[in-house]
Structure 1
Amino acid sequence: MLEDARIIQNVEIAKDVYKMELETNICKEAKAGQFIEITVPGFFLRRPISIHEIKEHSIVIIYKVLGQGTKEMTTLDGTLNIFGPLGNGFPIEEKEEVLCIGGGVGLPPLYETAKQYLQQGTKVQVVVGANDEASLFLIDEFKELGCDVYVATMDGSKGSKGTVLEAIKDNHIETDSILACGPLPMLKALNEKYTKGYISLEARMACGMGACMGCVVKDQEGHSLRVCKDGPVFEIGKVAL
Structure 2
Amino acid sequence: MKQSLFTLEHTRQLGSDIYELVLSGDTSAITAPGQFVNIALPGNFLRRPISVCNWTEHALMLLVRVVGEGTHTLVRSVPGTELDVLSGLGNGFDIVQAGSSPLLAGGGIGIAPLYGLAQRLLEQGCTPTVALGFRTGQDVFYLEEFAALGCRLLLATEDGSLGTRGFVTDCIRNVPECTYVFACGPLPMLRAVHSLPQLTGGQFSFEARMGCGFGACMGCTVPTANGSKRVCKDGPILYKEEIVW
TM range (shorter): over 0.9
State the match for 2:209 in structure 1. 204
Secondary structure of the residue aligned to 1:31 is: coil
Specify whether residues 151 and 101 from structure 1 end up closer, same or farther in structure 2 by C-alpha distance, changes over 3 A only.
same
Distance 2:242 2:220 in 1: 16
State the match for 2:71 in structure 1. 70
Distance 1:217 1:28 in 2: 25
Deviating beyond 4 angstroms after TM superposition, the runs of 4 or more aligned structure 1 residues are none
Deviation at 1:27, TM superposition (A): 4.5
Report Cα offsets for 1:100-147 as digits up to 9, x if no partner: 000011101011111000011101100000100111111110010010
**Unaligned regions of 5+ residues in structure 2, if any?**
none
- Asked if the contact 1:27/1:54 (under 8 Å) is kept, the reply is no
State the match for 2:225 in structure 1. 220
TM-score (norm 2): 0.94
Distance 1:41 1:5 in 2: 15
Deviation at 1:28, TM superposition (A): 5.6
- Asked if the contact 2:27/2:57 (under 8 Å) is kept, the reply is no
Report Cα offsets for 1:190-213 as digits up to 9, x if no partner: 112233110000111111111111
Report Cα offsets for 1:141-181 as digits up to 9, x if no partner: 00100101110111111111111111123x44430000000
25-34 or 105-114, which deviates more: 25-34
Matches within 5 A, 1:108-127: 108-127=112-131
Give the letter aligned to residue 60 of structure 2.
I
Specify whether residues 76 and 58 from structure 1 end up closer, same or farther in structure 2 by C-alpha distance, changes over 3 A only.
same
Matches within 5 A, 1:1-241: 1-27=2-28, 29-77=30-78, 78-93=81-96, 95-169=99-173, 171-193=174-196, 194-220=199-225, 223-241=227-245
Secondary structure of the residue aligned to 1:93 is: helix
- Asked if the contact 1:87/1:231 (under 8 Å) is kept, the reply is yes
**Unaligned regions of 5+ residues in structure 1, if any?**
none
TM-score (norm 1): 0.95
Q: How many residues align?
A: 239
Distance 2:37 2:18 in 1: 18
- Asked if the contact 2:64/2:75 (under 8 Å) is kept, the reply is no
Secondary structure of the residue aligned to 2:193 is: helix
Secondary structure of the residue aligned to 1:122 is: coil
Secondary structure of the residue aligned to 1:56 is: coil
Distance 1:134 1:101 in 2: 19
- Asked if the contact 2:8/2:82 (under 8 Å) is kept, the reply is yes
Distance 2:74 2:30 in 1: 24
